[in-house]
Amino acid sequence: MKKVAWITDDFYLEHDTDGGPESPERLESINYQMKTLHEELMLVEPREATVDVIEMIHSPEMISFAIDSDAILDKQSYKVAVKAVGAGLVAVDGVKNHEFERAFCAVRPPGHHATPTESMGFCIFNNIAVTARYAQNEGYKKVMIIDFDVHHGNGTQDAFYDDDTVFFFSTHQVDSYPKTGKESETGSGKGVGYTANYRFEANSSDKEYLEIYGKELTRAYNFFNPDIILVSAGYDIHESDPLVQMDVTTEGIAKIVRNILDLGDKPVIFFLEGGYSSNDLGLNVVATVKEMLK
Ligand SMILES: [Zn+2]
């Protein structure tokens, strides 16, 4: 059995989105369903990321805007966002110190739409992108980011588009928000070939997903041979999700996760991104963590 860290904080519930779909109830559902697995996990608390760490990805202007803005954020949101980034940092520290081999960061707000210069799409800071840079500073020189959220991780792609030390592998629904992530977007400069995008038609199911999360993912992994894998885990691919039209089942999600974990014997850190059907969100996270424990 693998040593798996569960990294979360009730403070993440304090980020209030005024009844929007990215609600505190999402994390409450996860917390409720995950209680059955607590005894098998290392329960780890996140820390606050410092501004200089966040600046490894984001511009000082954007960070100042997030601190000051009442327009897009409630009072607590900046502090919550800083702690969401900090979950990834704690995860990297833990795998580096051999305290655990895998980690799940159950964070709010999500991060993968936040670009280096702009908060957008429910995301304030790009948790996974900052963690990738932090991991590189800690000795994990080649970072593979796998993003199975139904929406394109445009912010993560932007952060590493011209970079050959971070491989970004993303699947998403065609024409869904924010409409980026065409197959022709493969990187620029020395980053050409280090971004891979796959778009699915609406109503794609386990079969279509597992074709990509089989042969295509393995090919990218073998080409890049990363030192660590970070996963943007968006459960809005599930058939129950109210915002989009995918037909992936909980069993399908477990198989996607299994294929990611079976790529090689490298540390793997999952980050909660989307997923807006509260009850199923909890069950899908449980299915993920059960695979991580195997
Ligand atoms: Zn999403």
Expressed in angstroms and rounded, the spacing between residue 164 Cα and the centre of ligand 1 is 25
pLDDT tens track for 116-156 = 999 999 999 999 999 999 999 999 999 999 999 999 999 99
Expressed in angstroms and rounded, the spacing between residue 46 Cα and the centre of ligand 1 is 23
Three-state secondary structure call for residue 31: helix
Whether 115 and 155 have beta carbons less than 8 Å apart is answered as yes
Residue 69 has pLDDT above 80, yes or no: no
Q: What is the DSSP string of 124-163?
A: SS-HHHHHHHHHHHTT--SEEEEE-SSS--HHHHHHHTT-
Three-state secondary structure call for residue 288: helix
Expressed in angstroms and rounded, the spacing between residue 248 Cα and the centre of ligand 1 is 14
Is residue 113 part of the annotated active site? The answer reads yes
What gap in Å lies between CA 192 and CA 174, rounded to an integer?
A: 22
Expressed in angstroms and rounded, the spacing between residue 262 Cα and the centre of ligand 1 is 24
Q: Which of 143, 135, 124, 148 has its CA nearest to residue 232? A: 148
Cβ atoms < 10 Å from Cβ of 29: 21
* Tokens coding 217: 């993912």
Cα angle 137, 139, 140 (rounded to 5 degrees) comes to 100
Expressed in angstroms and rounded, the spacing between residue 147 Cα and the centre of ligand 1 is 10
Three-state secondary structure call for residue 276: coil
Residue 66 has pLDDT above 90, yes or no: no
Alpha helices by DSSP H, listed for the chain, are: 24-34, 51-54, 60-68, 77-96, 127-137, 154-160, 206-211, 217-224, 250-261, 278-293
Bridge partners of 294? none
- Which CATH number does the domain housing residue 223 bear? 3.40.800.20
Cα separation of the two ends of the chain: 5
Its pTM stands at 0.97
- Where residue 70 falls among pLDDT bands split at 50, 70, 90? low
- Where residue 29 falls among pLDDT bands split at 50, 70, 90? very high
Amino acid identity for residue 142 in this structure: K
Expressed in angstroms and rounded, the spacing between residue 275 Cα and the centre of ligand 1 is 6
Expressed in angstroms and rounded, the spacing between residue 270 Cα and the centre of ligand 1 is 15
Of the residues 15, 112, 113, 238, only one is catalytic, namely 113
Domain that holds residue 236: 4-293
Task: Give CA 199 to chain center in angstroms.
Answer: 18
pLDDT tens track for 210-268 = 999 999 999 999 999 999 999 999 999 999 999 999 999 999 999 999 999 999 999 99
- Where residue 278 falls among pLDDT bands split at 50, 70, 90? confident
The structural domain count of the chain equals 1
